[in-house]
Chain A
Amino acid sequence: MRDGPRRSRLGLRVVALAYLAMLLVLPVGLVFWRTFEHGVGPVLDALGDPSVLHAFKVTGIVAFWTVLLNTVFGVGVAVLLVRHRFPGRRALSAFIDLPLAVSPVVVGLALILAYGKFAPIGGWLEARGIQMIFALPGMVLATVFVSLPLVVREVAPVLEEIGIEQEQAAWTLGAGKVQTFKRITLPSIRWALAYGVVLTLARALGEYGAVAVVSGRLVDKTQTVTLVVEERFQNFDQTTAYAASVALAAVAVVILVVINLLRPDERNR
């Protein structure tokens, strides 16, 4: 009898681990193995390719702006949703989750319809020398769109949980709204925000569908790392495809590890 729960727990673990192994460890491990099959030399050569380096730069730029915009917007919307009551609040809340439900390809097409050369807004911007589609602004827009909920959904529950009393206490002690936000609210949500930022960053580095549509895949211009991987893979340059994949995965893993190393001692407080 006493063995029952223990055995079933063991069984559950085996199932969970096997599932993870099949889904995650095996494929990712194989990519690593294939990449370093012939040593580090070919990998470094492949990553030294000017087009690949340019793609990393493009991905970096897109990720930077996406994180910046999403952080500011995400915190703003979370504060709005949690701290204010206004008509349309629930609609806004539902709208925030839309990007999770809509396919990124659809997002890309929708952006072309709105911001393309022949669309009203796109045309207006084009006349003022700002090209959105097939250029970086459109790619940032697409990436921001697909990662929209990530910061909001991390920050909003924490804001809810800490409540408004600390902020009100700060007001009665003379702190203005901006001071209160900087000294009280921001430190209280910093870990949720960091987590949201990491998720956004990971999403921005890995985004493919929406970016593929709005970028036009112009080599050495709007090609991101994910687009390079796909292009090289189609053209049988597997060494480069794998090398770029591994580099991309490595960046994401490093970020996740760093955030998880920093987090626990803060949690104990």
Chain B
Amino acid sequence: MSIRATGVTKRFGDFVALDDVSVEIPTGSLTALLGPSGGGKSTLLRIIAGLEQPDSGRIEIAGEDHTTLPPQRRNVGFVFQHYAAFKHLSVRRNVAFGLEIRKRPKDEVKRRVDELLRLVHLEQFGDRLPSQLSGGQRQRMALARALAVEPKVMLLDEPFGALDAKVRKELRDWLRRLHDEVHVTTVFVTHDQEEAMDVADEIVVINNGVVEQVGPPDELYDRPANDFVMSFLGPVTRLGGKLVRPHDLEVFSEPDTGTVPATVVRLVRLGFEVKVDVVVGDEELWVQLTRGEADRLALGPGSPIHLRALGAVSRPPARAH
């Protein structure tokens, strides 16, 4: 179900965490709230869940006003960065918690918990305590627990932030597949642009309490609304004072239309990719080439080359929110 935040403002003392933020998250989507730490994205998520109250503004879920509803009555699933596992309850009882609160019949609870444990691949771990699980398993348990009550929306606050890189990557893929299976509107907070691009259909970039841009990953990468979004979503370098992606620079051995002369300073080979440091006048920048391209141009320190930014001339204005 859709989520709509309208004109949400939240202050903590003098600090403005959210400044008149409006976002709309469509039904069934998997959306990332992306931005640097302290930018307000977690606060927005907690306001949607009812764990924080906005100073002003409005939250609607499935078209209904939820602004003043307590978290108990919003029926949202919330997953915390540090799992928030109920330490004194077994995995089964953790997952069953919401159903027990709703006083569902015992056999229904059992059936539903079995089903969810299968879904998150924890069938054999039902009788363990959370402390006997790994971080990744705990987070899957937390997801199953949140899904048990069939929430209207799922909200995940830096869900993979406490996990090591390998488990994080696995859980990302798994979350993506899970979302394809259960189709519940899902919003997750992350400061990792790669994670956001990998998992989400839609990204909301939040910085300094305001929404910088909303769109699918490709659109944000190719048509960023401003320099902040551009530099946050991928590598950038500067040519003639303008931000460009290092892989969007064309390298020629002879002058061509619109090229500028440059000199290679050094080459770093990172497997398939070659990072070329160059100077244009007194400006330093870098170019990302494939190994084949670098070899074909026979580049070495001191080589004179000619640079041109790909498509930098006509970047259409992206929609800002």
- Which residues of chain A come closer than 8 Å to B77, judged between CB atoms? 172
Please determine whether A173 and B87 come into contact, CB atoms closer than 8 angstroms.
Answer: no
In the complex, which residues 156-202 of chain A have their Cβ closer than 8 Å to any Cβ of chain B?
162, 165-166, 168-176, 179, 183-184, 187-188
Contact residue range for chain B? 20 to 34
Which A residues are in CB contact (< 8 Å) with B101? 173-175, 179
Task: Please list 21 pairs of residues, one from A and one from B, whose beta carbons are closer than 8 Å in the complex, sorted by A's number.
Answer: A165-B82, A165-B84, A166-B86, A168-B71, A168-B80, A169-B84, A169-B145, A171-B50, A172-B51, A172-B71, A172-B72, A172-B78, A173-B145, A173-B148, A174-B75, A174-B98, A174-B102, A179-B101, A183-B97, A269-B87, A269-B129
Leading 8 A-B pairs by shortest Cβ distance: A173-B98, A165-B84, A169-B84, A172-B78, A171-B71, A187-B88, A174-B101, A175-B101
B309 at the interface (CB under 8 A from A): no
B149 at interface, CB cutoff 8 A:
yes
Give, as a whole number of angstroms, the nearest-CB distance from B229 to chain A.
31
Instruction: Write the chain A residue with the least CB distance to B51.
Output: A168
- Considering only CB atoms, which chain B residue lies closest to A175 in the complex? B101
B84 to chain A, nearest CB (A): 4
Binding site for A on B (CB under 8 A): 49-51, 70-78, 80, 82, 84-88, 97-98, 101-102, 129, 131, 142, 145-146, 148-149
Residues of chain A contacted by B146 (CB below 8 angstroms): 172-173
> For B98, what are the chain A residues with a Cβ–Cβ distance below 8 Å?
173-174
Is A165 touching B80 in the complex (CB atoms < 8 A)? Answer: yes
Least Cβ–Cβ distance between A155 and chain B, in angstroms: 16
In whole angstroms, how far apart are the Cα atoms of A201 and B146 in the complex? 41
Question: In whole angstroms, how far apart are the Cα atoms of A166 and B70 in the complex?
Answer: 16
Q: Assuming the A-B contacts A165-B80, A269-B131, are A171 and B70 also in contact, with contact meaning beta carbons closer than 8 angstroms in the complex? A: yes
**B49 CB, nearest partner CB in chain A, Å:** 6
Closest residue of A by beta carbon distance from B132? A269
Q: Hey, which chain B residues are within 8 Å of A173, CB to CB?
A: 97-98, 101, 145-146, 148-149
B84:A166 contact, CB within 8 angstroms: yes
Q: Is the CB of A184 within 8 A of B72?
A: no
Residues in B with CB closer than 8 Å to A184 are: 86
* Chain B, Cβ-Cβ closest to A186: B88
Known: A174-B72, A184-B86, A187-B88. A169 touches B102 (CB 8 A): no
- Of chain B, the residue at the smallest CB distance from A173 is B98
Complex alpha-carbon distance, A187 and B89, angstroms: 9
Q: Which chain A residues (49-94) contact chain B, with CB distance < 8 Å?
A: none
Contacts of B85 in A (CB 8 A): 166
**In the complex, what residues of B have CB within 8 A of residue A175's CB?**
72, 97, 101
Task: Please give, as numbers and ranges, the residues of chain A lying within 8 Å of B86 by CB-CB distance.
Answer: 166, 169-170, 184
With a cutoff of 8 Å between Cβ atoms, the chain B residues found around residue A165 in the complex are 80, 82, 84
Closest to B157 in A: A165
Q: How close is B281's CB to chain A, nearest CB, in angstroms?
A: 54
Q: Which residue of A lies closest to B77 (CB)?
A: A172
Q: Is the Cβ of A188 less than 8 Å from the Cβ of B87?
A: yes
A176 to B70, CA, bound (A): 9
- In the complex, chain A residues whose CB is within 8 Å of the CB of B131: 269
Residues of A within 8 A of B148 (CB): 173
Closest B residue to A165 using CB positions: B84
